[in-house]
Amino acid sequence: ANMGRTLVELFYDVISPYSWLAFEVLCRYRHIWNIDLRFRPAFLGGIMQQTGNKPPAMLPKRGEYMLKDMKRMAKYYQVPVRMSTDAFQHIMGTNSLTAMRFITAIDMTNPQYVEPLTREFWVWFWSQHEDISQQENILSVARQAGLSAELSQKTLEIISSPTVKDQLKKTTDEALKYGAFGMPAVVAHYDGEPHLFFGSDRLELLGSVMGEKWLGPVP
């Protein structure tokens, strides 16, 4: 990390729409604030399981609220999340493990593609409501993100390897160690200690802790 720059880690899973909001806003602030932004692909399923957390939609009233909230947030943050009425069935019926292993493998081998690849997974799942658990879809997402057919195929072949599995588990464990119980989990290493912020609506507070100015969601 550069001297004097604050390391900000974003722990995320593409199954989480709020993570997409945090991701885009932090990408926008990357060159405005004095930060080094590090993407940390992790597995939300593992975090929920380890902490005993339940998806918001398990509580019907909270689910209803979240549908409305997400529509407002998408507009405010200018991120093309499209919530369908069956958004929760969509989430509950999808396992993001393969996608997150794929992103992890790219992070380990070709990190320059992590940002466009991750964004493309969100677009695919949250804007176009496509399936992201099938391998052929993952290859399509990778191609959309600018990965060559060869690299995509090669990456697909290593996602079940112990190295990739262990790395995803390690990142997920790190998020838990910082106190994460859901996603997005943003960790700012400021003043010699890690500061955890949960959700996409605490970025103003994150700036304030680091002495940085908040200029709205689209600076």
Q: Which two tokens stand for residue 59?
A: 């509580």
Could you tell me how many residues make up the chain? 219
161: alpha, beta or left, given left = phi > 0 and alpha = psi -120 to 50?
beta
**Taking the alpha carbons of 129, 133, 139, 142 in that order, is the dihedral positive or negative?**
positive
What is the rounded CA–CA span in Å between residue 111 and residue 97? 19
Which residues are the active-site residues?
Answer: 16
User: What is the residue type of 201?
Assistant: D
- Which residues neighbour 184 within 8 Å (Cβ) at sequence distance 6 or greater? 10, 11, 12, 16, 18, 19, 22, 23, 198, 199, 200
> Residue 101's closest CA among 21, 162, 10?
162
Q: Measured between alpha carbons, how far is residue 123 from residues 16, 65, 119, 142, 154 in Å?
A: 12, 22, 6, 12, 23
First to last CA, the chain: 24
Token output for 178: 């910082």
